[in-house]
Amino acid sequence: MPAPTLDKKQTTFSIWYVIGALFLISLLQDFITARHTLTLTYSELKQAIAAGSLQELVMADGLAEGTLRVEGLEKALPPDKLEQLRAVGGEHRFVTVLVDDPTLVPQLDAAKVRYGSVRESKWLSMLLSWVAPALMFFGIWWLLMKRMGGAGGAGGAGGLMSIGKSKAKVYMQRETGVTFKDVVGIDEAREELMEVVEFLQNPERYRRLGGRIPKGVLIVGAPGTGKTLLAKAVAGEAGVPFLSLSGSEFVEMFVGVGAARVRDLFEQAAARAPCIVFIDELDALGKARGLGGISGGHEEHEQTLNQLLVEMDGFDTSRSGVIIMAATNRPEILDPALLRPGRFDRHVSIDKPDMKGRRQILDVHVRQVKLAPAVELDSLAARTPGFAGADLANLVNEAALRAARQGKEAVDMQDFEQSLDRIVAGLEKRNRVMNPEERRFVAYHEAGHALVAEHRATADRVAKVSIIPRGIAALGYTQQSPTQDRYLLRRSELLDRLLLEKETVDRGMLDFVLAGTAQPGG
């Protein structure tokens, strides 16, 4: 994406800024030069020659310049000029106006003063005193303008001068490294977005029957379910420009910046049509109006949202071939005007994967992991109900890290089990000291959970029992593995779960269970 250019107003401001700075440098140079150059009358010059204080003299164009020593000038110069010389010390430069005096040269010869009638070349002095400061200032100014104009920022929109520019990053086909082959476990959502890609690649297939390409697609799902991954896959498959940014990037401390960035975003999208614009975390931008008080920041938020609504479906409907995609995990706080048809026409909901989906997601994440032959991914998929795609990716990564810490050649099932326990229950507290009575009580407690689960017909089977403390407060736990995904629970199943979740199990309950008097079902 080409870097944004400064407009005419900003360029004019920069030119006047440079002119003013150069004038200031000139004044400073004249002031500094005036402080270090003493002006003498011609008579004072003659007296300095007579006193033997003159070092050298250069004469040209009716002026004489040279250097003086302070010694010997007590009677030749007035007190104010003597004080000026003594303040500097050593040699001091001076300038005087020459008169037609034929005795000057003989007097200089007698005093053995070096003199000349042609001014020496001062190009080096001029370069150091004028050109070099000017160049240095211009370099500093250029760096400031570059940073303020965003030329060195990411995407060309990182500075003050381009504060109203959109910060969208542009991706082309396969630049994200993610395609639909990498999206598993959410087949319905993937098919919906594959259709969006087909809209852009072959629009006439739908227009010939009078169909209209959707203007917006809203992806809704819990954190970690793969909303952003789906957007990256669309970018990798679409073969059209893909502009990606976050909803928070529209928010700034300056009033009007958010609306300006929305306008600039859609101008960039129209110039690249057909294309896809993806806004992550839409709730940061599209929160319902009327929420959050009456502060100035709230007014800025509403102005930004209003501009987004107008750009998506306002009077200007000339922007064809631009599809807006957005992702959020808080659809309930979005403004209703955003969700109506004509803006976000399609809503794609992503749920947490079922057991089959979790198995497919594990297959994707273990591609780059060296697994031991005994690893059972089906068992892991069954023991991870409620895990989203990000949770499963974290599980695989934790298992690989644990195997590396142990110095193993491959990741085995024990690494996965320990990593699962760490994610679900927390870190082991092996150093937590418990007296035998406390450990006995925890053992009774967890044994009660396990025995009740084994004697209730609708309870999930027990996979593991531990009395090793984990996390902050857990002194032990009983892990159960569901045999299948459940979406409905009967009354008897709920009662069994209430029985399993009791905080304590007394000895009488254990005797009751062990005696076989507990009846299955409910």
Residues acting as catalytic residues: 446
Q: Which H or E run includes 45?
A: helix 42-50
161 in Cβ contact with 145 (< 8 Å):
yes
In the block, residue with structure tokens 């100014």: 141
In the sheet that holds 114-116, the strands lie side by side as 37-39, 91-97, 63-69, 54-60, 114-116
Residue 183: helix, strand or coil by DSSP?
coil
Q: What are the contacts of 124-133 at 24+ separation with CB within 8 A?
A: 129/29, 129/33, 130/29, 133/25, 133/29
Measured CA to CA, the distance from residue 385 to residue 353 in angstroms comes to 9
Measured CA to CA, the distance from residue 109 to residue 105 in angstroms comes to 6
Alpha-carbon separation of residue 148 from 162, 164, 260, 315 (angstroms): 7, 12, 17, 34
> What letter would DSSP give residue 284?
G
Amino acid at 450: A
Measured CA to CA, the distance from residue 21 to residue 136 in angstroms comes to 12
Alpha-carbon separation of residue 65 from 99, 101, 105, 515 (angstroms): 14, 16, 15, 120
Measured CA to CA, the distance from residue 455 to residue 447 in angstroms comes to 12
In the block, residue with structure tokens 């200031």: 24
In the block, residue with structure tokens 């010059």: 45
Pair of tokens at residue 24: 């200031």
Q: Is 474 left (phi over 0), alpha (psi -120 to 50) or beta?
A: beta
Residue 277: helix, strand or coil by DSSP?
strand
| Packing angle, helices 355-365 and 389-405, rounded to 10 | 50
Measured CA to CA, the distance from residue 480 to residue 459 in angstroms comes to 9
Residues in the chain: 522
Pair of tokens at residue 285: 């931008």
Q: Is 328 left (phi over 0), alpha (psi -120 to 50) or beta?
A: beta
State how beta strands 114-116 and 63-69 pair: unpaired
> How many C-beta atoms lie closer than 10 Å to residue 378's C-beta?
12
Peptide bond into 2 cis (omega under 30): no
